[in-house]
Structure 1
Amino acid sequence: MILRKLVLPLLLATALSACSDQGQQSAGTAQQKPASPVSVVVMKKTDRPITNVLPGRAVAFQTTEIRPRVNGAINEIAFKEGSEVKAGEVLYQIDDDTYAATVAQAQAALQKAQVSIPSAQANLTRYERLVNSGATQIEYENAKVTLLQAEADVEAAKAALNAAQIDLDFTKIRAPFDGVTTISTVSIGNIVTANQTTALTTLRNIDPIYIDLIDSSTNLLELRAAVASGRLHGDPRTADISLMLEDGTKYDRTGKLNMAELAVSETTGTYQIRAIFENPDHIILPGMYVRASVTVGTENGYLIPQRAGTRNARGELSAKFVTADNKVETRTFSTSKSSGNNWLVTDGVNDGDRLIVDGFQWIGDGAAVQPVEATVNDQGFVVEQPKVDEAKP
């Protein structure tokens, strides 16, 4: 019984001692946990392009609705709907029998008027010789008037013939410029009237093509201030413009600024910018929505990839950096600008600072990390730098 009383406390003390040793080992293990690896980019201040991404819509370079200028029945539709046509090419033929007859009548009237001129001229010449020897002054003046009347009749006949010829020419409805046609609204045999409300077809020139962009007046003021202060280098009027199409693909041609409206919408606070692009393959069609990236100039600063930055409730950019003792710290930037797939900042960063671009999602400020140098490619993917084998010469 006495032995039992002595053994029980001894076993309890041994168990407590074992638990204490295990707790100390666990604490030591936690303290020795390796630092989390993170990918970092070493910052360097350089001149970087400043870009604005703007929404836009494609608009035909030239557009016209084709309408008849004379009355008549459609005899021929000479184009294939939706096809390309050249300037001057016949699109529709209106029945021209009546107009051709009118031209013939006008030609006959002109010939009749022209015949009377030689006799009137000869009569005037004769009275000029006889005005002082038998012919009266009144007869001479009458002969002069007769000649003038004959000449006027000829001019009137020429004008009538010209008008008749114009109407005859208008029976052939031609394309005013190179372009692409739409569906025809009439068929052969339909009667059309001059300048009717309904267009026969619409012709669009889409090479080149316009892109109408919308920007805010706030951005315009900031851009002007940056240029005036010298922070932004380059002329926005010569900016290169690239396009992202509706399906996310990048258009393979670069456009140029064509014009900018000198007025701001009273309802939206925006103004319109028009860019022009070559479109030989007709990839861009009128009405398409696009996103345009406008390079307005260059500015000296540091690039923070979009994948490495977040924004707070005030819209300020923040990013995580590695300190000199390999600890995490968050920095917030009051101003930042878009530069391709990056943000550009000018304050709060120094050459050689290490920006965390991957692995920062689950670590907080003050956490110990193991930085691994990397780069961010044009697609926004992190590419770690190859490790150098120090053992090799």
Structure 2
Amino acid sequence: MNDKAALLNQLKIDRAPEPDGEVGVGRWIVIGLIVAALIAAVAWWLMRPDGIAVQVARVESAGGASGAPASTLDASGYVVARRMATVSSEITGKVIEVLIEEGQRVAAGQIVGRLDDTNIRASFDQAQAQLALARASEQQVRVQLDNAQRDYERRQQLLARNFVSQADVDNARTTLDNLKAQLVTAQRNSEVASRTVNVSQKNLDDTVVRAPFAGVITVKAAQTGEIVSPLSAGGGFTRTGIGTIVDMESLEVEVDVNESFINRVSPAQPALIKLNAYPDWEIPAEVIAIIPTADRAKATVKVRVGFKQKGDPRVLPDMGARVAFLSAAPSAGAVAAPAGVRVPARAVQVSGDTGVAWVVRDDKLERRAVKLGPSQGETLTVLAGLSAGERVAIGDSSTFADGQTVIVKP
């Protein structure tokens, strides 16, 4: 029993008390860390930012007016072809030959396709044969008429000498009149047969499809063996045409101008066109016409703008384009009007010719009513309300309020 107790005593852990100095140092270190964390939290709470984050843009001077025309309005649109047609035959038939490919230039009257003319040519040959028969019959009546004319004259001479009776002369006269009526009928038959030949010839010509004007093929719609018909309503295996041709000389740009700014556009007004595909290429242009109707849904008016340089192969239908409508160049000796300042379009709430901008001053917002001038892409010209060097806020203007504190983001 004593041996077991001795063994158990050997297994006990010695829990001797630690020195008092080590316990005191560790406790004070922990307390110091907790106090530092609390001080940092209080400092952050007291110094935390309480404004909304915005970006700012510097208001820049637009400079004085120069002799070059300035843009009064910018609008986006698309290149359209004023003259474009789907080339088709005037009759229904099977295509036996297609002579066009996409991108090919064709001249006016050039053959672009052929239809099967077997049945139409047979009808044409039949009409020609009927015309020949009618003309032969007409010639036969003419011969009989000439003979009857001579017989009638001869019997008149014999009647004067009392060699024939009056009845013989009357019978000769009747025969002559009858042949004259037959000649008129034969002539009418020849005319009808000739018209029939013309109709058959027209149908035969319609089997050859020609380009109505010079241009470029943009769509090849039919292949050899397909049926084309100008009366087809689509669907099935019947095509409505051989292909689509576009007159590249008729290309122009159509833009939708907000009705609030349509007063800045006038016919024959100079303009510059920039294609989205070639943003550095400025193409001289002018306003062709203002379509006299407005789109109620979009509150826009359509404006046609024509290229002054036509036929450039880089200009293609349906390309996106941006049009800058230019003001007239000032005359010599004219006093230059103040050009105002320029700000990003995102910094102004536009409402017609006026708007609202938010100026950042001493990290607070100040609401400003501004008068707007012409726009140039993403930049607006402000004629009144802002000064060069001021800062304007860019952000969600619905959250802005006059006097509100802001935090300027880089």
1:67-116 per-residue CA deviation (whole Å, 9 max, x = no partner) reads: 33233332211122342222222111112233223222222222222223
1:265: which partner in 2? 295
Distance (whole Å) between structure 1 residues aligned to residue 327 and residue 180 of structure 2:
74
Aligned to 1:316, what secondary structure does the other structure show?
strand
Structure 2 matches for 1:157-176, cutoff 5 A?
157-176=193-212
CA contact 1:181–1:201 (8 Å) conserved in 2: yes
Indicate which of 173, 197, 220 corresponds to 1:184: 220
Structure 2 matches for 1:1-393, cutoff 5 A?
44=64, 49-125=70-146, 127=148, 130=152, 133=156, 134-136=169-171, 138-193=174-229, 195-197=231-233, 198-199=239-240, 200-220=242-262, 222-223=263-264, 236-247=266-277, 249-277=279-307, 278-297=309-328, 301-307=337-343, 311=348, 316=355, 334-338=370-374, 340=376, 356=388, 361=391
Rate the CA distance shift 1:257–1:128 in 2: closer, same or farther, 3 A: farther
Q: How many percent identity over aligned positions?
A: 20
Rate the CA distance shift 1:40–1:340 in 2: closer, same or farther, 3 A: closer
Distance (whole Å) between structure 2 residues aligned to residue 87 and residue 120 of structure 1:
47
CA contact 2:73–2:264 (8 Å) conserved in 1: no
CA contact 2:255–2:303 (8 Å) conserved in 1: yes
Rate the CA distance shift 1:73–1:347 in 2: closer, same or farther, 3 A: closer
Q: Which amino acid aligns with 2:355?
A: E
Aligned to 2:126, what secondary structure does the other structure show?
helix
Rate the CA distance shift 1:286–1:75 in 2: closer, same or farther, 3 A: same
Aligned to 1:93, what secondary structure does the other structure show?
strand
CA contact 1:214–1:270 (8 Å) conserved in 2: yes
1:207-249 per-residue CA deviation (whole Å, 9 max, x = no partner) reads: 33021111122223x448xxxxxxxxxxx32212212222461
CA contact 2:111–2:209 (8 Å) conserved in 1: yes
Rate the CA distance shift 1:347–1:274 in 2: closer, same or farther, 3 A: same
1:339-381 per-residue CA deviation (whole Å, 9 max, x = no partner) reads: 65776666689xxxxx636xx549xxxxxxxxxxxxxxxxxxx
CA contact 2:355–2:370 (8 Å) conserved in 1: yes
Distance (whole Å) between structure 2 residues aligned to residue 254 and residue 135 of structure 1:
88
Deviation at 1:45, TM superposition (A): 6.1
Which stretch of structure 1 is more off in the superposition, 132-141 or 91-100?
132-141
Deviation at 1:60, TM superposition (A): 1.6
- Structure 1 length normalisation: TM-score? 0.63
CA contact 2:341–2:382 (8 Å) conserved in 1: no
Rate the CA distance shift 1:192–1:49 in 2: closer, same or farther, 3 A: closer
Larger radius of gyration: 2
Count of aligned positions: 298
Deviation at 1:293, TM superposition (A): 0.8
Which stretch of structure 1 is more off in the superposition, 73-82 or 129-138?
129-138
Rate the CA distance shift 1:274–1:319 in 2: closer, same or farther, 3 A: same
- Structure 2 length normalisation: TM-score? 0.61
Q: Which amino acid aligns with 2:348?
A: R
Q: Which amino acid aligns with 2:319?
A: M
Q: Which amino acid aligns with 2:201?
A: Q
Distance (whole Å) between structure 1 residues aligned to residue 369 and residue 256 of structure 2:
27
Structure 2: gaps (5+ residues): 1-57, 157-168, 234-238, 331-335, 360-365, 393-410
Q: CA RMSD in A?
A: 3.8
